[in-house]
Structure 1
């Protein structure tokens, strides 16, 4: 197939959705498909990470121009290239795409609907106004988790007949550089690890409060390491740490390379990820792949992803997070049991299988559109 792909998520720094786009595209290319990537401007990391394909780069820098590009230049170029199928991998489809072109949309989450206060206003507006038209005009819809599919059915009941669940795969976290010594991050003893962008949806204030409420002996035994770049609207975490009087036990690494991230996973006691909401939650399976159990939330997709390799907590209840932290830190039998299931759980998520499922959805969308146009 000749597949047109809205690749705008590669313009900014690579997030979970950007990784999804790259990995799914790479495996579609391995299946022999011809890929056409459409971008409003040059990608953030250049071209070296892109799978084999044809690149169409516009001159529409900035968020507002990017939205204009998505409804004007993008559908024009896609029609000109005579693609067989158009894929919107992140909540968007061109409303005015040539009616003869089949189209599929992937939905990762509905944060705009259920956790609006945790979003940047620009992203909220874009998802609020563009997701519904995309879902409406799509021939087939892909949700990345059953939890996301359930919310989609509640928000858009008419989409039920064309809704499919395809889990993302596991990307091995590694790198070509020599990893930094753990001591360079101030790590001098065992630790509990958080991985992710430091933003409101990750629920870090409650995680810090729960950690601060652990017995001092437990905090002396296990550091809390927060690995991730600074997000937005979270305030100064260092001030929060200082106010809780846990400076000696908390380490903020900032953004880390894949090489360093792999090392941080390798030596952690467990992953702590009590997010308020996740469409999928890549760190869960990344940690599992390293043999780590996880503490995560009993909401949205997290129970589905963690499977038998995690302990579930109420992300809105500091005491629940505290109990989970203490159990995984100090209960050796529980930790051993969950760790034993970790790698098997991560192996449920495979990009090759995901790409095969998406290929099948593309073929179904093509057949639907062909029938509708006859």
Structure 2
């Protein structure tokens, strides 16, 4: 198949959505398909090596122009390239694709509907206005968790017949983990790790409050390490840390490279991810792949992703998060039981299998558009 892909999530720093696009395209290309990724503008940073994948790069250098480009230039390029199927891997599709081109959209979450207050207003507006038509015109829809699929059926009742659940795969972060120490981050003892963009949906303020309420002896034994780039609407995290009087026990690493992230995962006591909402939650399985159990939330997709390799807490209840942290930090028998499940859990998620399932959806969409079946 000739597969066209909207690559807008690859323009900025690569986060979960960008990694999803890269790995799925890589697996599809290895399966023998011709992949053409359309970028609205040159990427801010060099992309990983993607063999046998073509790129088309536009000159839309701001958010407004990128949205215009996606509805005007992009469908013309897809028609010129005679793609068999066009894939919108992040919530949106061009409205005016050539009628011969099958079209599939992947929906990762409905944050715009369920957690609007946690989003940048520009992203909220774009998802609110562009997701609905994308779902409507798609020949097939992919959700990357059962929780997201159920949310889609509730929000768009007519989409059920063309809705499919395909879990993403697991990307092994970084290269071989070295024996380097963590002094570059000020880490000098065991630690509880958070990984993600520092933004409201990640529930960082409650996580810090829960950590601050732990016994002093536990905080002296285990640091709280927050690894991620600065997001929005959180104010000054250092000020929050100071107000909670936990400066000596908290480390802020900022955005880290994949190699440093692998190092942080490999030596953590556990991953703490009590998000208010996640469409999937890549850090859960990234940590599991390194034998690290997780504390995560009992909402949205997180229970189905964590499986038996973590404990679930109420993300709106500081006491619940605190109790979970204390259990993972101090109950060695519980920690050992969870560790036994970590790698088995992460093994459920494989990019080759995910791409094979997506390939079948593409074939189904092409047949539907060409032959009405």
Flag whether TM exceeds 0.5 (same fold): yes
Where 1:251 maps in the other structure, the secondary structure is strand
Supply the distance in 2 between the matched residues of 1:75 and 1:355 (Cα, whole angstroms): 24
Tell me whether 1:27 sits opposite 2:19 in the alignment: no
Supply the distance in 2 between the matched residues of 1:182 and 1:342 (Cα, whole angstroms): 23
Taking structure 1 as reference, are residues 48 and 292 closer, same or farther at Cα in structure 2, changes over 3 Å only?
closer
For the 8 Å contact 1:179–1:260, the answer to whether it is kept is no
For the 8 Å contact 1:185–1:251, the answer to whether it is kept is yes
Runs of 5+ consecutive residues of structure 2 not aligned to the other structure:
none
168-177 vs 252-261, which moves further: 168-177
Supply the distance in 2 between the matched residues of 1:141 and 1:48 (Cα, whole angstroms): 27
Supply the distance in 2 between the matched residues of 1:176 and 1:44 (Cα, whole angstroms): 26
Offset, 1:260: 1.0
The 5-angstrom pairing of residues 1-374 of structure 1 reads 1-175=1-175, 181-372=181-372
Where 2:323 maps in the other structure, the secondary structure is helix
Where 2:253 maps in the other structure, the secondary structure is strand
Supply the distance in 2 between the matched residues of 1:44 and 1:91 (Cα, whole angstroms): 22
Offset, 1:47: 4.6
CA deviations on 1:209-246 (whole Å, 9 max, x unpaired) are 00000000111111111111111111111100100101
For the 8 Å contact 2:276–2:299, the answer to whether it is kept is yes
Where 2:142 maps in the other structure, the secondary structure is strand
Where 1:272 maps in the other structure, the secondary structure is strand
Supply the distance in 2 between the matched residues of 1:48 and 1:343 (Cα, whole angstroms): 26
Supply the distance in 1 between the matched residues of 2:242 and 2:46 (Cα, whole angstroms): 39
CA deviations on 1:236-271 (whole Å, 9 max, x unpaired) are 111001001011111111111111111111111000
For the 8 Å contact 2:265–2:287, the answer to whether it is kept is yes
51-60 vs 350-359, which moves further: 51-60
- Per the normalisation by structure 2, the TM-score is 0.98
The CA RMSD measured in Å over matched residues stands at 1.3
Aligned length: 373
Supply the distance in 2 between the matched residues of 1:132 and 1:180 (Cα, whole angstroms): 48
- Per the normalisation by structure 1, the TM-score is 0.98
Runs of 5+ consecutive residues of structure 1 not aligned to the other structure:
none
